[in-house]
Amino acid sequence: MNSRSGGGGATGSGPEGTRRMDPDLHPPPPFPALHRDEHAAVLLRLTDWLSGAAADLLALAVPVDCVCCGAEDRTLCASCASRIRRLARSPFRAESGAPALVDVDGTIMLPVVAAGVYRDELAQGLLSFKRHGQHQLRRSLGRALAAAVRAAARDGSGVLLVPVPTGTAAYLNRGFSPVHLLLKEAARQLPGLNVADVLAKKPGPGLLLPGRMGGQKGLGRGARAQRVRGSMRVRPGNRQKVLGRPCIIIDDVLTTGATIGEAARALHVAGAQVRGAVVLAATRPPDASAPATPVPIPHGRSHDLEKNKPGKDE
Ligand SMILES: [Zn+2]
């Protein structure tokens, strides 16, 4: 119905794929054997370097401007890439800034970890990526998302990462789903965590009105929550995948929390244990009055937005 890009969360292939060779003809490399994870890290660095080199070559042939500062360089120049790294260096708990995720009495209904605040290069980079899906931005932003997931799901092997579905109209407009692409990139760096692309949007009356298709900008909290309520479901064939499984919802930007709340509701209805959500950026900075960030999402706890209060401990 929408994205075809999600699903595979597989990390790089390890040394198993190497064919057996005569050790005399092919002496072992002059460095000690690497652990599988180290191998993966080396491969990732090599891939990064190769695509960096390719981007440099391409920039010589086709001049491009940095999407953030406009410098004639790559799609994302080195200094803006490093600014993005800095902006996403300290993931924080962000749900207190999202009214749809906090009850009137201040009870947190769903914990959310954000990689950074939606501003400056992080916002510009993400905005440009959502429009055009540039490869370099995908790598940079995917890395930031991976770090936030790692902070949220500490020791969370077996946790399923569930991307928020893109609306059909948005998908048709762009031809890709930014969240799925970013999550795919992030998942390469998250061994032990699997992507479960199980959510879909139900076609609703909102989708039939041309001119109202392009998202929720300008809608207030109430209107937004009302518009998304009941708009998602776990695809019928995918219920077994999430039944009883711990899940973390993945989205790009946290604003009111209505979208993530709806994803949590749909997963809960399908029998999943929703632990919380991770976003690349939150529009509100961390609450200054809150105690120093207890970032990880608590384990063994499922949140149930359907009942409008936190779920019971497992
Ligand atoms: Zn730049």
Cα-to-centroid distance, 81 and ligand 1 (Å): 7
Distance CA 108, CA 89 (A): 24
- The answer on pLDDT for 7 being more than 60 is no
Q: How far is the CA of 116 from the centre of ligand 1 (A)?
A: 18
Residues 137-185: pLDDT tens digits? Answer: 999 999 999 999 999 988 777 899 999 998 878 888 888 999 999 999 9
Angle between helices 135-152 and 78-87 (to 10 degrees): 20
User: Is residue 244 over pLDDT 90?
Assistant: yes
**Ion ligand 1, residues whose Cβ is below 5 A away:** 66, 68-69, 71, 77, 80
Residue 59 alpha carbon to ligand 1 centre in Å? 14
Q: Determine the pLDDT at residue 287.
A: 76
Within 10 angstroms of residue 73's Cβ, the number of other Cβ atoms is 18
**Do residues 99 and 256 lie in contact, with contact meaning Cβ atoms separated by under 8 Å?**
yes
Between the CA of 115 and the centroid of ligand 1 the distance, in Å, is: 20
The CA distance from 127 to 122, in Å, is 9
135 C-alpha to ligand 1 centroid (Å)? 15
Region 181-199 average pLDDT: 94
- pLDDT for 145 equals 97
- 57, 132, 155, 187 from 181: Cα distances, Å: 24, 12, 24, 10
Give 207 or 270, the one with higher predicted confidence: 270
pLDDT of res. 260: 96
What percent of the chain has a predicted confidence (pLDDT) above 90? 49
Q: Where are the alpha helices (DSSP H) in 72-215?
A: 78-87, 120-132, 135-152, 168-174, 178-187
Going from the N-terminus, what domains does the chain have, and what CATH number goes with each?
90-208+222-307 (3.40.50.2020)
Structure tokens at 135: 């490869």
For tokens 């075809």, what's the residue? 4
Look at 81-85, 101-105, 234-238 and tell me which has the smallest mean pLDDT: 101-105
Per-residue pLDDT of 24-68, as tens digits, reads: 555 555 554 545 566 777 777 777 777 777 766 665 666 689 999
Higher pLDDT, 125 or 228: 125
**Residue 156 or 94, more confident:** 94
pTM check: above 0.85: no
How much distance in Å is there from the Cα of 69 to the middle of ligand 1? 4
| Mean pLDDT taken over the chain | 79
Buried b or exposed e, range 157-170, using 16+ CB within 10 angstroms: eebbbbbbbbbbbb
The residue written with tokens 């109202």 in the block is: 212
